[in-house]
Structure 1
């Protein structure tokens, strides 16, 4: 699927930024741009022009490329924490793309022959690439990435991987879809995407847990692979609803999943 985001209109610059504590400057080849937070908007000034971005806080400067800067604008909600913009200042003036992204800030910028591509995780475990050619942003579905594990049923082979990496790997998807439906897998994946934990030996299992971005105290999940026969189980927990196990454990649950379910 391809999606193109067109540039937004710009406004004439009126007065200079008034609150230095809410401002940031970015140097580009054609000049300096200034970001100024004004309530739930960010005013971006460059040359004699200004544009306005919707943002609850001053955007993060994510990357620069030629005459453009990539900004992550926090929206302030929990359903979609934030989106990206490319802002450009060159001989043609100041302009911005429309907002884009997957509501995740866990991105990587890769250089391609056609321009920089921002790679972002999707809630379904796949990835989307957002290619910027200097004028527009084009979304490309990238699918699931391989974790490089040649024997997915070998639990120890996953040692050191995060729960999200296991749950979103191309190798593991067929197994996961035998113990849960697609919508449930989508929820379990997204609920594990933030974590400093990794797959380690936990009783008869290798297990890891994580939580949902910006909702770590509300939604969490984990995955475990049996060191005995390679079977896979997952756990999902939501505040107010409790937890559930997917799959058929043949021995005591790993402590990581037990603690997750008993929150």
Structure 2
């Protein structure tokens, strides 16, 4: 019994760790590698999408002839989260610029071909409490439809 556990432990320690996460879509896989970089078909985006502390998939949303993937870039206390929409089709993949208020408190909904991310405003812990409370009462609505991202009705560049 002892030898079996010792052999198992030795194999576990000598095996390379595979930390990459595979995200299957109808149009090929996205991957998050062990450097927190987002890849499509094992190639980085241009400009690259590199997570601060990590990247998480919040959802995959089929939308007609494309899949839309919402990615969360997890940061620190100054800016806990930023977001990206990745649009995949038979022609390839594209990504929005990072967006968000830095809040990691989000609600995500899909209605037809639109994906909406709603979040409060955000002021970091070093801002005065009154400014933090004021920002928390704000409502920011990000809408992604047909490759276009808007915030409260205005196009996000």
Q: For this structure pair, what is the TM-score category when the shorter chain's length is used for normalisation? A: 0.5 to 0.7
**1:133 and 2:133 aligned:** no
Q: How many Å apart are 1:20 and its aligned residue?
A: 5.6
Corresponding residue of 2:59: 63
Corresponding residue of 1:90: 89
Q: How many Å apart are 1:27 and its aligned residue?
A: 1.3
Structure 1-normalised TM-score?
A: 0.41
Evaluate the alpha carbon distance shift between residue 120 and residue 20 of structure 1 in structure 2; reply closer, same or farther with a 3 A threshold: farther
Structure 2-normalised TM-score?
A: 0.66
Q: How many Å apart are 1:87 and its aligned residue?
A: 1.4
Q: What aligned pairs does 1:100-249 form with structure 2 within 5 A after superposition?
A: 100-113=99-112, 115-123=114-122, 124=135, 125-140=137-152
> Are 1:37 and 1:57, in contact at CA under 8 Å, matched by a contact in 2?
no
1:81 and 1:139 map into 2 onto residues whose CA distance is 19
Corresponding residue of 1:37: 34
Post-superposition, which runs of at least 4 consecutive aligned residues in structure 1 deviate over 3 A?
none
> Are 2:28 and 2:40, in contact at CA under 8 Å, matched by a contact in 1?
no
1:131 and 1:43 map into 2 onto residues whose CA distance is 22
Unaligned runs of 5+ in 2: 1-15, 123-134
The RMSD of aligned alpha carbons is 2.1
Cα deviation per residue 1:4-51 (whole Å; 9 max; x = unaligned)?
A: xxxxxxxxxxxxxxx76331111111122111132xx513122x7431
**1:21 and 2:18 aligned:** yes
1:119 and 1:95 map into 2 onto residues whose CA distance is 22
Cα deviation per residue 1:43-85 (whole Å; 9 max; x = unaligned)?
A: 3122x7431213123311101112121010013x322122001
Corresponding residue of 2:126: none
Corresponding residue of 1:168: none
> Are 1:97 and 1:137, in contact at CA under 8 Å, matched by a contact in 2?
yes
2:86 and 2:95 map into 1 onto residues whose CA distance is 4
Q: Which has the larger radius of gyration?
A: 1
**1:72 and 2:72 aligned:** yes
Unaligned runs of 5+ in 1: 1-18, 142-263
Q: How many residues align?
A: 119
